[in-house]
């Protein structure tokens, strides 16, 4: 874990900075323009997001975000839950995992064309760069993550 890094794109000059995860909470700044990054929270558990917090928590997140779109009646969604808890711990500091209840947050769901459950949205710098539909084994999600986090 000590050598883990994450790529943070500077909102001021656009430079992609590779930053050691251990320095994230110590007020890092852009290597090129020296603009300090806002403090970056590094949750080790999935966070709940809603139509009203989606922009701040997901679109404007400096860390890459994996959004789990789920519903209470969806059994495959429930089976994914412990996997996402595990991943949130394993990838602390490199990835934020967010859960969106689609029944309670129809605006965000329809804006992202979520039509079957569960749907995973891989969002970096405000853009959906990958999606995965259906209940997936942990290994398969990690395969998506390895491409997603290395871009």
- Catalytic positions: 74, 77
Counting contacts by CB under 5 A, is residue 10 touching Zn ion? Answer: yes
Counting contacts by CB under 5 A, is residue 33 touching Zn ion? Answer: yes
What's the closest the beta carbon of residue 38 comes to Zn ion, in angstroms? 13
Counting contacts by CB under 5 A, is residue 11 touching Zn ion? Answer: no
Within 10 A of 135 (CB to CB), how many other CB atoms are there? 16
Mark the segment that binds Zn ion (CB under 5 A) among 18-26, 27-35, 117-125, 142-150: 27-35
Q: Which of residues 103-132 bind Zn ion (CB under 5 A)?
A: none
Mark the segment that binds Zn ion (CB under 5 A) among 6-14, 80-88, 119-127, 141-149: 6-14
The residue from 30, 62, 66, 77 that contacts Zn ion (CB under 5 A) is: 30
Decide: 87 and 97 in contact? Cβ < 8 Å: yes
Question: Is the omega angle on the peptide bond into residue 38 within 30 degrees of 0, that is, cis?
Answer: no
Query: Residue 35 or 86: which CB sits closer to Zn ion?
Result: 35
Q: What is the DSSP letter of 58?
A: I
Decide: 91 and 138 in contact? Cβ < 8 Å: no
Three-state DSSP class for 67?
Answer: strand
Q: Which of residues 34-53 bind Zn ion (CB under 5 A)?
A: 35
Counting contacts by CB under 5 A, is residue 6 touching Zn ion? Answer: no
Mark the segment that binds Zn ion (CB under 5 A) among 4-12, 42-50, 77-85, 119-127: 4-12
Q: How far is CA 52 from the centre of its chain?
A: 17
Provide the b/e sequence for 118-133 (b: ≥16 CB within 10 Å): bbbbbbbbeeeeebbe
């Amino acid at each position: 874990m000590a050598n883990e890094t994450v790529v943070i794109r500077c909102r001021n000059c656009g430079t992609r900075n590779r930053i050691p995860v251990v320095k994230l909470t110590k007020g890092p700044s852009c290597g090129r323009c020296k603009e300090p990054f806002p403090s970056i929270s590094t949750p080790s558990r999935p966070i709940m997001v809603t139509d009203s917090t989606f922009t701040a928590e997901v679109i404007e997140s400096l860390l890459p975000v994996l959004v789990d779109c789920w519903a209470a009646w969806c059994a495959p969604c429930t089976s994914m839950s412990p996997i996402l808890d595990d991943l949130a711990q394993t990838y602390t500091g490199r990835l934020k995992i967010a859960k969106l209840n689609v029944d309670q947050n129809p605006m965000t769901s329809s804006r992202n064309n979520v039509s079957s459950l569960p749907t995973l949205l891989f969002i970096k710098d405000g853009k959906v760069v990958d999606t995965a539909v259906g209940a997936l084994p942990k290994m398969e999600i990690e395969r998506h993550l390895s491409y997603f986090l290395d871009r």
